[in-house]
Amino acid sequence: MAMNVAQKTMNSKENGERRSGVPPLSPLKSKRQDAASENPPKISVIMGVWNARACVGRAVESILGQTFGDFEFLIVDDGSDDGSGEELEEFARRDRRVRIIRQANAGLTCALIAGCAEARGEWIARQDADDWSEPARFEKSLDVARRHPACTMVSSWTDYRGPSGELLDEIRRPEDPAKATDGLLHRRLGPPAHGSVMFRRDAYLSAGGYRREFYFGQDSDLWLRMALRGKITYAQKTLYHYTLSPSAISGRFGDVQRRFGEICQLCHAERLGGGDDSRFLGELAALSDGLREKKSGGSRAAIAGSNYRIGVQLARRGDPSARHYFREALRLQPLHWRALVRLIASLFRK
């Protein structure tokens, strides 16, 4: 059974915010201002990075190694202080398609808004800093988009991976646009991962783009609004690998993250009924402010729960490394009886 994307725990996807208020989105651009040339690329790849030095190189290399090369790669350094920025600059020196946008730490949503505002491509492709793409991702995604010209979003089958690369789950969705769009709009079966998606830039702008109020769940909020204007389809091949990490910011605030998901669905229901969803944005803003204040904190119980869920996925696949995650859940929360039961059961399996 697939994990709910809204429960994903990751290292740098939901970037933290260090300040009590969100700074204005006027990023300090790199010196590559000549990127705005007469011939825009087919694809603009957008990635937000916050303190992801340990994994960002793999993500960048997976994009630069694409078999389809007509793209620009806009990377928003969201106030990293772990050396990520220096590593990104090295990539920019090596490949002229890479352009770094710098901003004060403001969180993933604001980083994506900044990156998309700079995009020049017909398509915008997402990539997350701790995930990686298969070399043929863009090529195969454009192939399926050409088969379904009414579609404004394209994703693909996706693997979920544990912190050490363990295979947790394999998520598949249909290519048929009618079935795929119905799943997104009415059955909560959307793209398996935020970074797996490409969407037409004009459709993104028409839908209003990412909304700052969504500290978490900015992906689902955007997809549901875009799906009212165009369809989605999926390449029938695993083209994206999505990493889960219990120690990430979103993993420490699971209850709040779930509330963002609930409000996202309330907004969606309001729109389906012909109403205005703006009445929900006040609560979202308040939740976001609370998260900014708690950025350095978080619940041990929530992190324990993240370890437990990873362990469950591994146990279902018969992977003995599940025991490590059950033990970690018990270390963080000694009274986590489900983890204890699972651990004992795993020890009796051959």
- Domain limits, the chain: 5-251, 300-347
Better-scored residue on pLDDT, 301 or 226: 226
Choose among 128, 4, 51: nearest CA to 295: 51
CA distance 259 to 302: 14
Lowest mean pLDDT among 9-13, 22-26, 41-45, 95-99: 22-26
- Type of residue at 150: A
Packed helices 218-226 and 108-118: angle between N→C axes, nearest 10 degrees: 50
Q: Which of 307, 311, 301 is nearest to 334 (CA)?
A: 301
The packing angle between helices 300-316 and 254-272, to 10°, is 80
Q: Is the pLDDT of residue 5 over 90?
A: no
Indicate whether 64 pLDDT > 60. Answer: yes
12 vs 304, more confident: 304
Give per-residue pLDDT as tens, 154-179.
Answer: 999 999 999 999 999 999 999 999 99
CB 139 within 8 A of CB 66: yes
Which pLDDT belongs to residue 297? 54
How many Cβ atoms are within 10 Å of 169's Cβ, its own excluded?
18
Instruction: Tell me how far apart the alpha carbons of residues 25 and 235 are, in angstroms, rounded to a whole number.
Output: 34
Res 30 pLDDT > 80? no
pLDDT recorded at residue 294 = 61
Confidence category of residue 290, pLDDT binned at 50, 70, 90: confident
Residue 295: which pLDDT band, with cuts at 50, 70 and 90? low
Q: Which CATH homologous superfamily contains domain 5-251?
A: Spore Coat Polysaccharide Biosynthesis Protein SpsA; Chain A (3.90.550.10)
- C-alpha to C-alpha distance for 155 and 167, rounded to whole angstroms: 20
pLDDT at position 70: 98
For the beta carbon of residue 104, count every other beta carbon within 10 angstroms. Answer: 17
Rounded to an integer, the average pLDDT of 247-251 is 64
Q: How confident is the model at residue 248 (pLDDT cuts 50, 70, 90)?
A: low
Q: Give the SS3 label for residue 76.
A: strand
Mean pLDDT of the chain: 88
What is the pLDDT at residue 291?
Answer: 73
Mean pLDDT of 296-324: 87
Phi and psi torsions of 31, nearest 5°: -75, 0
Q: Is the pLDDT of residue 123 over 50?
A: yes
The mean per-residue pLDDT over the stretch 74-93 comes to 96
**Composition of the chain by helix, strand, coil, percent to 5:** 45, 15, 40
The mean pLDDT value for 277-297 works out to: 79
Q: What is the pLDDT, as a whole number, of residue 299?
A: 72
- What pLDDT shows up at residue 252? 66
SS3 272: helix
Confidence check: pLDDT of 134 > 90: yes
CA distance 121 to 299: 41
pLDDT at 288: 82
